[in-house]
């Protein structure tokens, strides 16, 4: 039997597991996760009000229920079990741990109170145990740095009245925190121009439907025609985005200003260069205006400031390094060659190619890695015996580390669903200790 370990139970890990379980019938596929809960970014990164996207967990659930697939949660590679121990007891290892570290702004003042990474912030409102205690400062004026979908998610959630979030799986603590904040102005800031944003048109369109929100855009920042530097593969989305931005500007021109509304400002071609504060708390964001030249984006000598008390940076993510596993510090990913980390060890998803692409893109990448593995292993005759999870389980017992099975996860899942109120699909446990205590009581 071929023993396969998948490290990470998000979409990439699950998709690789599914194909390997189908195409290598004489294989046992064990999916490990550091949390007691599976599904990675779908559970802890997708916006709570995007339940249609989160419903993909139903598909991933079916993968975990395959006869030759086993979920093992609450086990961290490099801490509970070393990389070398995994290699000793498994023929194949696929690392699919995503990219969870926020890229820092690396400017003066980025460690002040009130500065957050978007990954940390989204994990907070999604109830991830590592961010449950964040308790972020939400001032009247909030700056979000970055022109991708995550920036739109955060702006949208901060703009919604609590009643609009009741049907979501946002945590009760985050819901109350946002409800009691007195947010008035939200600035979405990108270093490139309006034609270069990474928004998907569908996400941008959602902003147009927000009630009690005014959108502020300087029309001179929206080009009348799609710039020539936009590549053909991006031209269609760019044209859609520019049309939506024009509509947002025109719509706001027709509305009478209401002081009770939240105002979302889109600011393009600007880069933050410093954050200043008083008493260790953010007070101002200093920016420089940019211009596009043949060689790319160039900073000008023109600067301006925004009075904000909260800064959320959404400029990308890095994969966390794991002891003894090759790492590419320049790219912020695992070091690999076409997905191969070293013989018998592979990378998939964001830890392989960086934090870009939605779930379907991760599925395609996972399928490619799975095909590579199958081509290298399907004709292997009598591989040397390895004992897989039997050995790992023994090591965990010796170390008093409690792993979580699929049946355990099912109990956690059902308890979260039963705790839900006010039309919410679930009320998540936000501490691992709570989950383990639940399992010990049953």
User: Does residue 255 carry a pLDDT above 70?
Assistant: no
- The pLDDT score that the predictor gives to residue 25 is 84
Domain count, the chain: 2
Tell me whether residue 191 is annotated as binding.
Answer: yes
Helices marked H in 110-255: 118-125, 149-159, 172-180, 201-208, 232-254
Per DSSP, the three-state class of 94 is strand
Tokens of 395: 């090591």
Tell me whether residue 150 is annotated as binding.
Answer: yes
User: Does residue 54 carry a pLDDT above 80?
Assistant: yes
User: Are residues 87 and 24 part of one domain?
Assistant: yes
- The pLDDT score that the predictor gives to residue 246 is 94
Backbone angles phi, psi at 14, to 5 degrees: -65, -40
Which CATH number do you get for residue 60? Answer: 3.40.50.720
Q: How confident is the model at residue 162 (pLDDT cuts 50, 70, 90)?
A: confident
Would you say 298 and 131 are in contact if contact means Cβ atoms under 8 Å apart?
A: no
Q: Looking at the DSSP assignment, which residues form a beta bridge with residue 337?
A: 340
**Among the three residues 316, 348, 367, which one is the final residue of a domain in this structure?**
316
* Mean pLDDT for all residues in the chain: 95
pTM, whole model, 2 decimals? 0.94
Tell me whether residue 359 is annotated as binding.
Answer: yes
- The pLDDT score that the predictor gives to residue 254 is 66
User: Are residues 127 and 213 part of one domain?
Assistant: yes
User: Are residues 299 and 153 part of one domain?
Assistant: yes
Region label for 293, one of left (φ > 0), alpha (ψ between -120 and 50) or beta (otherwise): beta
Residue numbers of the domain that contains 154: 102-316
Tokens of 306: 């925004």
Distance, in Å, from the CA atom of 103 to the CA atom of 315, rounded to the nearest integer, reads 6
Tell me whether residue 106 is annotated as binding.
Answer: no
| Residue range 234-253, pLDDT digits in tens | 999 999 999 999 999 888 77
User: Are residues 368 and 265 part of one domain?
Assistant: no
**Among the three residues 293, 316, 339, which one is the final residue of a domain in this structure?**
316
Distance, in Å, from the CA atom of 392 to the CA atom of 304, rounded to the nearest integer, reads 57
Distance, in Å, from the CA atom of 202 to the CA atom of 149, rounded to the nearest integer, reads 10
User: Are residues 58 and 106 part of one domain?
Assistant: no
User: Are residues 145 and 67 part of one domain?
Assistant: no
User: Are residues 178 and 70 part of one domain?
Assistant: no
User: Are residues 265 and 143 part of one domain?
Assistant: yes
Backbone angles phi, psi at 288, to 5 degrees: -115, 145
| Residue range 282-318, pLDDT digits in tens | 999 999 999 998 778 999 999 999 999 999 999 999 9
Would you say 103 and 316 are in contact if contact means Cβ atoms under 8 Å apart?
A: yes
Tell me whether residue 41 is annotated as binding.
Answer: yes
Q: What is the mean pLDDT of residues 27-42?
A: 97
Tell me whether residue 277 is annotated as binding.
Answer: no
Report the length, in residues, of the chain. Answer: 442
Distance, in Å, from the CA atom of 199 to the CA atom of 145, rounded to the nearest integer, reads 13
Tell me whether residue 203 is annotated as binding.
Answer: yes
Q: Which residues of 166-194 are buried (b: 16+ CB within 10 A; e: fewer)?
A: eebbbbbbbbebbeebebebbbbbbbbbb
Tell me whether residue 149 is annotated as binding.
Answer: yes
User: Are residues 174 and 284 part of one domain?
Assistant: yes
User: Does residue 187 carry a pLDDT above 80?
Assistant: yes
Tell me whether residue 373 is annotated as binding.
Answer: no
User: Are residues 184 and 275 part of one domain?
Assistant: yes
Q: What is the mean pLDDT of residues 189-196?
A: 96
Which CATH number do you get for residue 121? Answer: 3.50.50.60
User: Are residues 235 and 163 part of one domain?
Assistant: yes
| Residue range 198-211, pLDDT digits in tens | 999 999 999 988 98
Terminal-residue alpha carbon distance, the chain: 34
Q: Give the percent of the chain with pLDDT over 90.
A: 88
List of residues 6+ apart from 158 with CB closer than 8 A: 138, 142, 178, 181, 183, 186, 262
**Among the three residues 271, 290, 316, which one is the final residue of a domain in this structure?**
316
Backbone angles phi, psi at 215, to 5 degrees: -105, 125
- The pLDDT score that the predictor gives to residue 377 is 87
Spatial strand order in the sheet of 296-307: 270-278, 281-293, 296-307
Distance, in Å, from the CA atom of 73 to the CA atom of 262, rounded to the nearest integer, reads 41
Tell me whether residue 12 is annotated as binding.
Answer: yes
| Residue range 417-429, pLDDT digits in tens | 999 998 999 999 9
Q: Residue 287: CA atoms inside 13 Å, Cβ hemisphere, count?
A: 23
- The pLDDT score that the predictor gives to residue 420 is 94
Checking 332-337 for CB contacts under 8 A at 24+ apart, the result is 332/99, 332/101, 332/103, 333/99, 334/95
- The pLDDT score that the predictor gives to residue 256 is 66
User: Are residues 398 and 255 part of one domain?
Assistant: no
């Amino acid at each position: 039997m071929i023993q396969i370990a998948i490290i990470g139970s998000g979409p990439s890990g699950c998709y690789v597991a599914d194909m390997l379980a189908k195409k290598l019938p004489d294989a046992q596929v064990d999916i490990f996760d550091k949390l007691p809960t599976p599904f990675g970014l779908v559970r802890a990164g997708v916006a709570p009000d995007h339940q249609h996207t989160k419903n993909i967990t139903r598909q991933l659930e079916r993968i975990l229920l395959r006869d030759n697939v086993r979920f093992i949660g609450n086990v961290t590679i490099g801490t509970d079990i070393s990389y070398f121990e995994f290699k000793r007891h498994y023929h194949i290892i696929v690392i699919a741990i995503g990219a969870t570290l926020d890229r820092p702004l690396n400017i003066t003042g980025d460690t002040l109170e009130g500065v957050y990474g978007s990954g940390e912030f989204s994990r907070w409102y999604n109830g991830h145990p590592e961010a449950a205690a964040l308790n972020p400062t939400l001032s009247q004026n909030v700056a979000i740095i970055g022109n991708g979908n995550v920036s739109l998610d955060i702006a949208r959630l901060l703009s919604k009245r609590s009643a609009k979030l009741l049907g979501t799986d946002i945590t009760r603590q985050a819901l109350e925190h946002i409800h009691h904040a007195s947010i008035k102005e939200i600035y979405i800031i990108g270093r490139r121009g309006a034609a270069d944003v990474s928004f998907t048109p569908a996400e941008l369109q959602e902003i147009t439907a927000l009630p009690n929100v005014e959108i502020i855009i300087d029309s001179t920042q929206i080009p009348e025609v799609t710039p020539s530097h936009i590549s053909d593969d991006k031209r269609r989305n760019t044209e859609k985005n520019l049309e939506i931005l024009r509509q947002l500007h025109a719509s706001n021109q027709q509305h009478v200003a209401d002081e009770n509304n939240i105002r979302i400002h889109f600011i393009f071609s600007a880069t933050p260069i410093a954050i200043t504060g008083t008493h260790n708390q953010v007070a101002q964001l200093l920016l420089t205006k940019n211009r596009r030249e043949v060689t790319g984006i160039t900073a000008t000598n023109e600067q301006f400031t925004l009075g904000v008390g909260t800064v959320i940076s959404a400029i990308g993510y890095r994969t966390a390094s794991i002891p003894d596993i090759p790492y590419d510090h320049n790219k912020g990913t695992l070091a690999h060659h076409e997905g191969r980390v070293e013989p018998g060890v592979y990378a998939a998803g964001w830890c392989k190619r960086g934090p870009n692409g939605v779930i379907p893109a991760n599925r395609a990448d996972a399928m490619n890695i799975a095909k590579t593995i199958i081509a290298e292993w399907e004709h292997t005759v009598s591989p040397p015996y390895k004992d897989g999870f039997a050995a790992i389980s023994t090591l965990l017992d010796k170390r008093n580390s409690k792993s979580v099975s699929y049946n355990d996860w099912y109990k956690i899942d059902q308890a979260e669903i039963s705790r839900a109120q006010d039309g919410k699909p679930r009320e998540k446990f936000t501490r691992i200790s709570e989950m383990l205590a639940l399992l010990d009581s049953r």
